[in-house]
């Protein structure tokens, strides 16, 4: 049994928590809209259907198996004794939530939040596989993420696992991530990176000499609308996470909401300013990516930052994003249509570091070793999550090819896999362009 | 090169976890954790390089 106490919540806090958790699906809607808008029009219906399928598969697989590995703080788990200390590695819950009474108890609220959170993590790689990732493979890959990769790492961070307990080993108050910068965002970003490597780039993206061609998203309005939905969803995600996973009091929700908003605002504005300086005009889709990156970066420490620090966290994320997207595209030849690796992976890593650099992690005056605890968490993401998610997706690709056929890519995912386009009545009438 | 990179990633993580589990909170532990992180960065660089080479070979 874990040594972390079972969190207790008053009825008012539990009710507030339910309300906050019910906002989280808006983050999924936002990411789905942004992913769709950043892809091609001939794959738009496929992208939205794939988003729904990801959310559906993630919820079912998580309830069936995922929660068994993740569990919650204070509940039964497999513990290893090394060096005179206990190491909590894996939860020991029955499959299909057997034995869990679904009411307003903390564990029920954790399950409710996780059903949505695991779907969010699954949506992240969708944007990097846009225009070439088969629907069946998307579902299978999501099942692997929701059934194994996500729950195991989330147990270590949120389920009373060894990363959460690093504080007992002299490392600050343990690895801190209230809203899922690591468990949802970086995990999703690393899965996205693995998939770009496994799927390869879109046809025509890179010339023979390795220069990338610009393939702009087909609907920037969808992308920007998605940012607004994502903002609302993130307010719920960060607030509910702060209450359930960092022990924050319900009154701290106001600070979390203020910090989340400030971080997104600073990041979106900074990216707009950077692109204005670099290209002469603000870039709408990159600014949208900057906005979401600010939300991502705020997740880990929104309950602990002071408002000026939240602005700084967002501003740094906003500067990082356009350069990171260019670096991955131009230098590393990673074809990531929605910029998921940068927006979720890089901004998430920055958010995790910012907890130790710009906050006291909830302990007045701070605690020695907090930076090291965050570093151990980041090392676990790179040294455990990346190999596992790459390995599972590589194996899946051997059994069931993940990339669509050459013919399908040329035709568009809508017609090839769904038999109908997203915009059947859309046609360009040449006479509209004749000068009158 | 790809496999070697992933093995380095896992090995670096092993170093980090071992340092946390077995060493007391001293400078030595910090050095081992940083060394593990450095090994992971080498592994990541190797994996990235491997995929760049693969891409060039595929044309």
Structure confidence by residue, pLDDT tens digits, A401-412: 999 999 999 899
Predicted local confidence at residue A204, as pLDDT: 87
Q: For residues A7-28, give the mean pLDDT.
A: 93
Q: What is the DSSP string of chain B?
A: -HHHHHHHHHHHHHHHHHHHHHS-SSHHHHHHHHHHHHHHHHHHHHHHHHHHHHHHHH-
Please say if the pLDDT value at position A99 is more than 90: no
- Give the nearest partner residue to B16 out of A82, A333, A383, using CB atoms: A383
Please say if the pLDDT value at position A83 is more than 80: no
Contact A332 B25 (CB under 8 A): no
Residues in chain A within 8 Å Cβ distance of B53: none
Predicted local confidence at residue A431, as pLDDT: 52
Predicted confidence (pLDDT) per residue in A184-195, tens digit: 999 999 999 999
Predicted ipTM of the assembly: 0.96
Split at pLDDT 50, 70, 90, the class of A3 is very low
Please say if the pLDDT value at position A63 is more than 50: yes
Q: Average pLDDT, whole number, for chain A?
A: 92
Mutate to test the interface with A, among B3, B10, B14, B16 (most CBs of A within 10 A): B16
Predicted local confidence at residue A433, as pLDDT: 53
Predicted local confidence at residue A430, as pLDDT: 53
Please say if the pLDDT value at position A53 is more than 80: yes
Please say if the pLDDT value at position A251 is more than 60: yes
- Rounded to whole angstroms, the Cα distance separating A357 from A348 reads 14
Please say if the pLDDT value at position A302 is more than 70: yes
Please say if the pLDDT value at position A158 is more than 60: yes
Check residues A383 and A85 and name the one with the higher pLDDT. Answer: A383
Split at pLDDT 50, 70, 90, the class of A1 is very low
- Report the predicted TM-score, pTM, of the whole model to 2 decimal places: 0.95
Contacts of A384 (CB under 8 A, 6+ apart): A153, B10, B13
Residues of A contacting chain B (CB within 8 angstroms):
82-83, 85, 87, 166, 169-171, 197, 200-201, 206, 208, 210, 332-333, 369, 372, 375-376, 378-380, 382-384, 386-387, 390-391
- Rounded to whole angstroms, the Cα distance separating A393 from A149 reads 11
Query: How far does the CA of residue B30 sit from the closest CA of chain A (Å)?
Result: 8
Split at pLDDT 50, 70, 90, the class of A428 is low
Please say if the pLDDT value at position A250 is more than 70: yes
Contact B37 A375 (CB under 8 A): yes
Predicted local confidence at residue A436, as pLDDT: 52
Contact A379 B12 (CB under 8 A): yes
Contact between A36 and A54 (Cβ < 8 Å): no
Residue A88 phi, psi (nearest 5) = -85, 110
Percent of chain A with pLDDT over 90: 80
């Amino acid at each position: 049994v874990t040594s972390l106490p079972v969190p207790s919540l008053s009825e008012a806090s539990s009710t507030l928590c339910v309300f906050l958790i019910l906002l989280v699906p808006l983050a999924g809607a936002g990411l789905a809209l942004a992913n769709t808008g950043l892809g091609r029009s001939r794959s738009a219906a496929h992208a939205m259907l794939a988003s729904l399928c990801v959310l559906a598969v993630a919820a079912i697989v998580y309830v069936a198996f995922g929660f068994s590995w993740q569990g919650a703080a204070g509940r039964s788990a497999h513990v290893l004794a090394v060096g005179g200390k206990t190491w909590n590695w894996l939860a020991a819950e029955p499959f299909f939530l057997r034995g869990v009474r679904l009411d307003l108890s903390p564990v029920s609220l954790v399950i409710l939040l996780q059903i949505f959170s695991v779907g969010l993590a699954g949506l992240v790689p969708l944007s990097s596989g846009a225009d070439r990732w088969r629907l069946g493979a998307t579902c299978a890959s999501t099942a692997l993420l929701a059934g194994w990769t996500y729950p195991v790492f989330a147990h270590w961070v949120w389920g009373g696992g060894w990363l959460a307990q690093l504080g007992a080993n002299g490392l600050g108050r343990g690895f801190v991530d209230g809203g899922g910068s690591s468990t949802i965002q970086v995990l999703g970003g690393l899965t996205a990176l693995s998939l770009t490597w496994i799927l390869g780039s879109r046809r025509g993206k890179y010339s023979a000499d390795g220069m990338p061609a610009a393939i702009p998203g087909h609907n920037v309005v969808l992308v920007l609308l998605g940012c607004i939905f994502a903002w609302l969803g993130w307010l719920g995600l960060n607030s509910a996470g702060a209450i359930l996973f960092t022990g924050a009091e319900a009154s701290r929700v106001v600070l979390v909401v203020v910090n989340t908003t400030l971080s997104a605002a600073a990041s979106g504005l900074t990216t707009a300013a950077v692109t204005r300086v670099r290209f002469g005009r603000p870039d709408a889709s990159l600014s949208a990516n900057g906005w979401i990156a600010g939300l991502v970066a705020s997740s880990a420490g929104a309950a602990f930052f002071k408002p000026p620090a939240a602005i700084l966290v967002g501003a740094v994320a906003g500067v990082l994003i356009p350069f990171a997207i260019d670096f991955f595209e131009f230098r590393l030849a990673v074809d990531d249509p929605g910029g998921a690796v940068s927006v979720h992976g890089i901004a998430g890593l920055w958010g995790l570091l910012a907890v130790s650099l710009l906050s006291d992690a909830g302990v007045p005056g701070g605690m020695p070793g907090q930076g090291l605890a965050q570093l151990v968490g980041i090392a676990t993401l790179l040294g455990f999550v990346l190999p596992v998610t790459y390995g599972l997706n590589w194996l899946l690709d051997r059994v069931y090819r993940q990339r669509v056929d050459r013919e399908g890519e040329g035709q568009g995912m809508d017609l090839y896999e769904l038999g109908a386009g997203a915009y059947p009545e859309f046609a360009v009438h040449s006479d509209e362009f004749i000068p009158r | 090169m790809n496999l070697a990179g992933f093995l380095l990633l896992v090995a670096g993580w092993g170093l980090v976890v071992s340092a946390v589990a077995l060493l007391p909170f001293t400078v030595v532990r910090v050095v081992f954790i940083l060394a593990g992180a450095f090994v992971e960065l080498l592994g990541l660089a190797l994996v990235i390089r491997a995929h760049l080479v693969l891409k060039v070979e595929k044309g």
